[in-house]
Amino acid sequence: MSTEEKRLSTFKKWPYGSDTSINKEKMAAAGFYYIGNKKEPDLVRCFVCLKELDGWEVEDDPWEEHKNHASYCQFIHLNKAECEITFEEMHDLEMYRQINMATKVLTKKIKEFEKQAANTREAPPPPPSSPPSSSKKPPAPSLPSRPPAPPPSLKPPTPAPPFQDLLAPPSSF
């Protein structure tokens, strides 16, 4: 989705025509590609910050909407038409896109974990095992040091070579 052409090709079911200010060309130029469905027929996502927006009005300006809802977006910060973006800048945008994707996945995982943790906390606490005693007890004596470990079991000695081999005459003769 890093090229405007690729983003533009996703707007096959875009519900707004070319006579509106939210036509597919302007959406693609503003960094969006189409991910709509029956429930959200005008849902788009930025290819860098991954911000998803829907509920478009025909008089909206895609770039301004992107800027208002995701001012942190690196594509917005760059503020360049695609033909002006250098190879290095495109490389940086791709790096940011990957960072944003990883952050999105991690944020989702953290939320799932927090939900699970909250459910665990809501469970009734286990009954107390022993009431805390108010009487002061002498400190427990330190445990005796452990006896030294037994020596590792010895392996049986490797058998000596057969006697005949030792008596055999050297083969070089």
Q: Which residues bind Zn ion (CB under 5 A)?
A: 46, 48-49, 70, 73, 75
Q: Which is nearer to Zn ion, 8 or 46 (CB)?
A: 46
**Cα–Cα distance between 71 and 52 in angstroms, integer?**
13
Contacts of 82 (CB under 8 A, 6+ apart): 3, 4, 29
- CB 50 to Zn ion: min, Å: 7
**Cα–Cα distance between 4 and 129 in angstroms, integer?**
65
8 A C-beta contact, residue 66 and residue 73: yes
- Which residues in 10-69 belong to E strands, given as ranges? 32-34, 44-46, 52-53
Q: Which is nearer to Zn ion, 33 or 75 (CB)?
A: 75
| Helix runs in 20-86, H state only | 24-29, 62-69, 74-78
- CB 115 to Zn ion: min, Å: 27
- CB 74 to Zn ion: min, Å: 7
- CB 39 to Zn ion: min, Å: 22
Q: Which is nearer to Zn ion, 20 or 78 (CB)?
A: 78
